[in-house]
Structure 1
Amino acid sequence: MSTIMILIPFIVASLFPHFQVSQPLTSSLFAKQGQWNLMRPNIGISAMHMQLLRNDKIIIFDRTDFGHSSIPLSNGRCRIDPYDIALKIDCSAHSVLYDVATNTLRPLMIQTDTWCSSASVLPNGTLIQTGGYNDGERSIRMFTPCYDETCDWVEFPRMLSQRRWYATNQILPDSRVIVVGGRRQFNYEFLPKNPNPNNDYPSAIPFSFLQQTSDASENNLYPFVHLLPDGNLFIFANTKSVLLDYKQNRVIKQFPPIPGEEPRNYPSSGSSVLLPLDENLGSPEAEVVVCGGAPRGAFDSATRGNFMKTLATCGRLKLTNPSPTWVMEYMPMPRAMGDMVLLPNGEVVIINGVAAGTAGWENGREPVLTPVIFRPSETDSGEKFSVMAPASRPRLYHSCAVLVKDGRVLAGGSNPHVYYNFTGVEYPTDLSLEAFSPPYLAPEFDPVRPTIRYITNNNVLGYRVFCYVTFTVPYYGSASDVSVRIIAPSFSTHSFGQNQRMVVLKLSGVTYLAGEAYYATVVGPSTAEIAPPGYYMLFVVHKGVPSSGSWVQVM
């Protein structure tokens, strides 16, 4: 390490004076149950799809064949589509860019229909967005974040090999994106990919697992896809899951069906996360959790007016075990259409959804307003789940949730009916945006809350390269129980956060500097299979309380 690298943390530390805490931490309802805040009652559109970008703005969009939204396009622009089922000429926006810091937004122009589409973020921070409905079913769209008002969608019609409606995307270690499945699409393809010389479009690769798991209700749409540390893909559809070696295009392992054999994918609409990968273990364990959903037959039953109770179970599968078997947990209440969001401290919040029915307009009943915090590492079964403060608005079909850099979870969307119908239905279209603040944001935890002051290497994390994170903690004493984590923001749609990922970086030590200042010595991710190249939010967690995040680029 160079002399200047050694001196930087000490120079930074001198800027922060000593602070003594005179009062012990106290308890409050916020510290136990979190709290909700309404950010905007109307963002103009319903949040069917959401993605946080590296400039702390969230791109939000619904579908284009809805009729007039509540926000006009700027500069007199209009979308002209003679085949649109709602409006042939539409001068309203169906995508907005929301600024988290200022709580403001601006309309964006999207031309082709994005209904039930998928996305990933490329290593340079560009969102690549795929598929949809009608004229959008084979489209690719790209959005590159900027720091002025000039960036907007760029579209490439008919660039996918197959129509992709209800597909799932995953960024890969080599920076390509795999697009898996879609309605009646039992195959996958890669982006970018050289065209097949014997065809106008790149070819798709057959994937019989998707055909084997399809049923009359198509409970294998939006399959859960997770990239594992060995570079293979875990893919869960309906009740079954496999390990796919996408490089050799072959299934190398089949896992046991989830106990109970109730479907978990759309339209049953459970959710799933890959739990944090901890580099301090040497070889990180990979464990997947699948929670909630609706029983088999729930969709057909709901269309006849009978709303079946949803599922209260979570299945855990440790994929790095030689012979993985499902371990079942029980949530405090049943839930379908819930979103599972990884929190900076390693916990998982399960938010939005219903306790009866299934996905689809008017197919859900009994909204679950209370998020649940799931603590995967807790051994006491009574402490694994905690019920949080209730939201004021139901979030049912087509709702979303994303983590933002300050540790809050933003939730939006619900039942976006054609023509933005707000009357005459059980649960009308919802255009609001709310923020849930988990308990760790309560003021009681401020004395132990770290603040990131400086990250070496210009906020670049190189693979297996040492990095030094200077941070302060108001409470005077040893900064014990410290970890440094990176989180890849997810593309949230239909109860699944595509590409969501947390890596606990290898910690070589925490050094006390002066006053409130410390620096942590961490090592960049060991492989691109553990952390694909791209932008992540880095958090310092002290005694279970996270800092606000800082953007870093893994490369």
Structure 2
Amino acid sequence: MKIMLSFLLPSFFFSAALAQTAGSIVEVGDTQVSAMMMFLGNEEKVYILDKVEGNAAKIQGHSAWAAVWDIASSTTTLMDMTTNTFCASGMHLPNGSFATFGGNKAIGPQGADSDQPGFDSTYDDSDGGTSIRILNPCTGTNCQWFDNANLLSMQQRRWYAGTEALADGSVVLIGGFVNGGYVNRNLPNNDPTYEGGGAEPTFEFFPARDAGAQLMQFMTTTSGLNSYAHAYLMPSGQMFVQANLSTILWDYNNNIETPLPKMPHGVVRVYPASGAVAMLPLTPANNYTPSVLFCGGSNMPADAYGDYLQPKINTFYYPASNDCQRITPEPQDGSAPEYVQDDDMLEGRTMGQFIILPTGKLLILNGGSNGTAGYATATDETPSYADMPYGMSLAAAPVLTPAIYDPDAPAGSRWSRDGIQTSQIPRLYHSSALLLPDASVIIAGSNPNVDVNLTTFFPTTYTAERFYPPYFSATTRPVPQGVPAKLSYGGAPFDIQLDPSSYTGDGNDAAGNTTVVIIRPGFTTHAMNMGQRFLQLNNTFTVMQNGTILLHVSQVPPNPNLITPGPVLLFVVVDGIPSNGTMVIVGNGKIGTQPTHTVQELPAAVTSTPTPTDTPSSTKSSNKSSDARRTTVGLGALVLSMACALPAMIFLTDFS
């Protein structure tokens, strides 16, 4: 079955978006399940996953832990799941599908062990420790997860695994816990590799490779604080990996690690310290050279984290870090990589989350000024749950006001929250955020509790919000025509048309201040967006006499390491005002070596010149408009075809 999507969003969607106040945070309804994980399936739907717990919403006679949120109507439809998705990881696949990996064992109320081997009859959940679940997004309400660990599973149990996509569209899964806990170690730490069977120090691939799961030395080096390791594929094909205080470049094909400098100032950025981390935009101006930004987290002493059970100290009183560091793992000038001090955040923040906006600026939101992620009934300093000041939460002092970071601003002036409103909803552990096609941001979740608790200090939260960045003050937004359904790695450029109604002011000025960008919003969980990337496509333009702008746009650079195959949102940004995003597929839609092509040169930029009133209109741009490529632009609404509800075994055949 195929669903055809127009490349232009309905006019009511524009109107609703523009009605919002720039900088505002608006409640948009109930997600029915607490949004621990989210991803954008297409231009219409956000898919939500929760941990197994006693949600009031029921499906098939049991509490639900999955849902799909319709963007236009802000309504939620429940989805059925089989296995426990608690603390899974996730990633896009080349054809637009998404996969989640691992999770928790089967549990009953209050996190109790299941009443049957591998299954709990109260919550109807099965063990998710080795599960691989696949969803092919669709625009209706009949999409279903393929969730059968007997047919599709990992080689090892993984809870909090690091996850990154590769150039061929496959996925690498890094480390994790076996069954969960606060930090990935025992005390005393006499077995830093396996922790007596509690830690999973290997890596593996999906689809699986013949070599199977292999030991990764980095997991031993970072023992204890290596959950959801930060992993970013580099242009060379090596991978930048950071956890605890250690950093490496990793040749995952040959399992060779090259040490990089340690994280300065003793600040940990992985769970449960949970700093905000993102790759900065890849642009022609920086020659598509990746830099990674780390902000916040915690500089708690190593022993303060305790063990699998609970922290040693009262983390909720310990201030989070406001420190920010940048690193360029593969400098093009041949220099050695090093961490560079960046502007401090406006306050300390743990569990802060970066969302890359179409303007290339980074939004940070959610989190707290004190403590860490995770929950517990006690600490070594507060052994009685009755004395825990914030219930099970190990964090406090929620940071309720987002801020925006401008990576191109001069040092000392990169942070701002001018005109940004404050939320009234704390977003602590198990919060999430995601860029939407209209360039707003959905914010959801927060549940530092073992099971649903609506009366504790920081309760289970179902209410979602949307944040409207400052560009929502614009009365005119670009409406691109001719956006393709697919992008290739190199090859012939394509044209996008902007009518004069898409901008204000002079057409030449608008064209000179227009960028075309693709953004992968990523799979969001635990203050991370796995797979999130921003890449600006090169472009020139022709401005016609009537003010119409034709953008001549290059394909994706012919290096799939820069942005791996799969779904992205394409935005046209004019004078800092983004269009609605159109979902397109990068690559050939299949797992395997991606075809690359020679980059074809873009036409020179052509501006429009005023036409004398006593002569017929005849300008460079009007002459140019007669060529074949320009006359085909806008001949009709292009469509995007996406697979919907494919039978599970057909999907597996495609990827075997």
Asked if the contact 1:452–1:550 (Cα under 8 Å) also holds between the matched residues in 2, the reply is no
Equivalent position to 2:490, from 451, 460, 464: 464
* 1:179–1:514 distance in 2 versus 1, CA, 3 Å: farther
Paired AA for residue 288 in structure 1? V
Q: 2:261 aligns with which of 246, 256, 264?
A: 256
Residue correspondence of structure 1 range 393-412 to structure 2 within 5 A: 393-412=425-444
Q: Is the 1:119–1:168 contact (alpha carbons within 8 Å) kept by the matching residues of 2?
A: no
Counterparts of 1:430 and 1:384, CA distance in 2? 29
1:354 to 365, 368, 380: 368
Contact 1:302 1:308 in 2 (8 A): no
Contact 1:505 1:523 in 2 (8 A): yes
- Tell me by how many angstroms 1:418 deviates: 3.8
> Would the alpha carbon gap of residues 154 and 102 (structure 1) be closer, same or farther in structure 2, given more than 3 Å must change?
same
Alpha-carbon contact 1:139-1:156 (below 8 Å) kept: yes
Residue 133 of structure 1 corresponds to 104
Q: 3-state DSSP class of the match of 1:209?
A: helix
Aligned to 1:172: 166
Distance 1:280 1:111, change over 3 A: same
Q: Distance in 2 between matches of 1:515 and 1:405?
A: 29
- Per-residue Cα deviation, 1:322-374 (whole angstroms, up to 9, x for no partner): 21211122001000001111111100011100001111231011000011100
Q: How far 1:503 moved relative to its partner?
A: 0.7
1:288-316 deviation per Cα after TM superposition (whole angstroms, max 9, x unaligned): 00111122245456754752000001110
Written as runs of structure 1 = structure 2, the 5 A alignment for 1:430-509 is: 430-442=461-473, 445-447=474-476, 449-455=477-483, 458-465=484-491, 466-472=493-499, 473-477=502-506, 478=508, 479=510, 480-507=512-539, 509=540
2: CA distance between counterparts of 1:256 and 1:344?
A: 31
Structure 2 residue 28 is matched with structure 1 residue 39: yes
CA contact (8 A) 2:327 2:338 kept: yes
Contact between 1:264 and 1:270, CA under 8 Å: does it hold in 2?
yes
- Length-normalised TM-score, structure 2: 0.72
Contact 2:403 2:416 in 1 (8 A): yes
Give unpaired runs (5+ residues) of structure 1: 1-11, 13-28, 79-90, 197-202
Q: Which moved more, 1:402-411 or 1:381-390?
A: 381-390
Equivalent residue for 1:21?
A: none
Mean CA deviation greater in 382-391 or 357-366: 382-391
Cα distance, 1:149 vs structure 2? 2.5
Q: Equivalents in 2 of 1:550, 1:71: separation in Å?
A: 32
**1:123 aligns with one of 86, 94, 109:** 94
Superposition deviation, residue 92 in structure 1: 2.4
1:393 CA displacement: 0.4
Q: Which amino acid aligns with 1:133?
A: N
- Comparing 151-160 with 204-213, greater Cα deviation is found at 151-160
Q: TM-score, normalised by structure 1?
A: 0.85
Q: How many Å apart are 1:280 and its aligned residue?
A: 5.1
1:204 has 2:217 as partner: no
Determine the C-alpha separation between the residues in 2 that align with 1:299 and 1:30. Answer: 42
Q: What whole-Å deviation, never above 9, does each CA across 1:371-409 have from its counterpart, x for those lacking one? A: 110001101413444363211101000100000110111
Deviation at 1:428, TM superposition (A): 0.8
Equivalenced residue count is 490
Provide the aligned C-alpha RMSD in A. Answer: 1.9
In 2, the alpha carbon distance for the partners of 1:306 and 1:489 equals 31
**What is the match of residue 329 of structure 2?**
319
Does 165-174 or 293-302 show the bigger shift? 293-302
Work out whether residues 268 and 299 of structure 2, in 8 Å CA contact, stay in contact via their aligned partners in 1. yes
Structure 1 contact 268–299 (Cα < 8 Å) conserved: no
Q: CA deviation at 1:434?
A: 0.4
Q: Structure 1's 305 and 549: CA in aligned 2 closer, same or farther, altered over 3 A?
A: closer
Which one of the candidate residues 241, 247, 256 is aligned to 1:235? 241
Please state how far the C-alpha of 1:459 moved relative to its aligned partner.
2.2
**Aligned partner (choices 35, 52, 56) of residue 70 of structure 1:** 56
CA deviations on 1:84-129 (whole Å, 9 max, x unpaired) are: xxxxxxx221100011122122110111111100011101111111
Partners in 2 of 1:525 and 1:348 — Cα distance? Answer: 22
Q: CA deviation at 1:138?
A: 0.5
Distance 1:476 1:385 in 2: 27
Query: 1:219 deviation in Å?
Result: 2.0
Letter in 1 for 2:39: Q
Match of 1:295 among 290, 294, 299: 299
Distance change >3 Å, CA 492–CA 208, structure 1 → 2: same
1:285 is aligned to 289
The whole-number CA distance in structure 1 between the counterparts of 2:312 and 2:513 is 48
Secondary structure of the residue that 2:39 maps to in structure 1?
strand
Q: Which has the larger Rg?
A: 2
1:225 is matched with 231
Is 1:101 aligned to 2:72, yes or no?
yes
1:257-283: per-residue Cα shift (whole Å, max 9, x none)? 1210221110111121111111355x4
Letter matched to residue 70 of structure 1: A
Residues 1:247 and 2:253 aligned together: yes
What does residue 134 of structure 2 align with?
142
Using the aligned pairs only, state the percent identity.
32
Q: CA deviation at 1:46?
A: 0.5
Q: Which runs of 5+ in 2 are unaligned?
A: 1-7, 9-19, 106-126, 178-198, 376-392, 588-656
The letter of the residue matching 1:358 is T
Shift of 1:462: 1.4
What's the CA shift for 1:489? 2.0
Higher strand share: 1
Task: Report the Cα distance in structure 2 between the residues aligned to 1:306 and 1:102, rounded to whole angstroms.
Answer: 38
